[in-house]
Structure 1
């Protein structure tokens, strides 16, 4: 079991990373603005699932292989960059009104699945997220105790913190509900999100 002080220290260390705007927040702003606060849940779940996948891979040692192989690390980084750029382009194009919309219930079901997948892939394909559990998390675990259990405990604390952070942003976004209903405002947010995603992809590929 991880000492409570160690968990608190880990959360303090990852808080600046969580607070730095990234793909999850960009997706949250775009989808909540476009379709309401219900879209926050699949984004939070997708992001949290990605965190647990990185933690599990770190325990298994697979992420260590990627981080210690420059070729594998570069491949993962480029795949993630291409995904973010592609997602940004898709988001820009989706801001254009559809002349033949699908029924609301069917459209909502498909959107929830799509949003979850977007958030999941945005996190899984980010090697910097993997680095948290390979370089930062080990500093807060005791070597004489179960490594896997401690990593998963830290991952759970991390997941709760980022879920709270995204939920707080959801409430903040919805407070501007009147402005959010305007089609022009929605298109502006969607296109701004697309630019952010493309910029994140370019930055990921360049660093």
Structure 2
């Protein structure tokens, strides 16, 4: 792979990682609720999912999933249900940060594994991510160069850019949280994030229905 192709790949991947979606919303919520350190666990789960999908894309397995109606239908259903679950949970409980919020005192902080698993599931249940990796990676694989070397260069570049993007959103969320007027926005943000998750899930569900 030449430098021009690598830079083109990196620019496309960077735009993709900065585009708002379920992963950014989840990391932002977890950062505000539990802190940046715990949000990093969600980020690690998400980039693990990206690694697995990238591996499937290079092996050609994700192409089978993408064009197999039952398999892709299952992925969409799981993704839609999980996003709606996160949205309803967020809508009901909000961000739970106010000092007078009773939910906060009773709220159990998720385990490291659960936070990691949230990020992993968001990545693996996102059909857009499957389509993106399936379309992107084969375009930059040169048959005249060792496959595994190119794979690791592309995948780890994608993972690094994704980590940096999500970490940036996590830090930004904390900075906004620490503003004096954040308590006023807390409930509104909880509803907004909840609505966004539910909206993403409904869009997925609608696409399933329209493709029947």
TM-score normalised by L of structure 2: 0.83
The secondary structure found in structure 2 opposite 1:179 is coil
TM superposition shift of 1:57: 1.7
Q: Deviations over 1:156-201 (max 9, x none)?
A: 1011111111222223222234337955533332221111111111
For residues 141 and 93 of structure 1, the distance between their equivalents in structure 2, rounded to whole angstroms, comes to: 46
Q: Could you say which residue in structure 1 is the equivalent of 2:175?
A: 175
For residues 70 and 32 of structure 1, the distance between their equivalents in structure 2, rounded to whole angstroms, comes to: 36
TM superposition shift of 1:30: 1.3
For residues 204 and 72 of structure 1, the distance between their equivalents in structure 2, rounded to whole angstroms, comes to: 15
Distance 1:143 1:130, change over 3 A: same
Q: Could you say which residue in structure 1 is the equivalent of 2:124?
A: 124
Q: Structure 1 residue 56 and structure 2 residue 22: aligned?
A: no
For residues 128 and 56 of structure 2, the distance between their equivalents in structure 1, rounded to whole angstroms, comes to: 13
Contact 2:57 2:137 in 1 (8 A): no
Q: Could you say which residue in structure 2 is the equivalent of 1:90?
A: 89
TM superposition shift of 1:205: 2.4
For residues 161 and 155 of structure 1, the distance between their equivalents in structure 2, rounded to whole angstroms, comes to: 10
Contact 1:80 1:201 in 2 (8 A): yes
Q: Structure 1 residue 15 and structure 2 residue 20: aligned?
A: no
For residues 201 and 23 of structure 2, the distance between their equivalents in structure 1, rounded to whole angstroms, comes to: 13
RMSD: 2.3
Q: Could you say which residue in structure 1 is the equivalent of 2:210?
A: none
Distance 1:154 1:85, change over 3 A: same
- The worse-fitting range, judged by mean Cα deviation, of 43-52 and 142-151 is 142-151
Contact 2:65 2:72 in 1 (8 A): yes
- Structure 2: which 5+ runs fail to align? 97-101, 208-212
Q: Deviations over 1:127-169 (max 9, x none)?
A: 2212222211111110123334423321110111111112222
The secondary structure found in structure 1 opposite 2:178 is helix
TM-score normalised by L of structure 1: 0.84
TM superposition shift of 1:111: 4.3
The secondary structure found in structure 2 opposite 1:176 is helix
Q: Deviations over 1:48-93 (max 9, x none)?
A: 1110010122233321211121232122112211111112112223
Contact 1:52 1:152 in 2 (8 A): no
TM superposition shift of 1:100: 5.9
Q: Deviations over 1:95-124 (max 9, x none)?
A: 26428626xxxx44x343322211110111
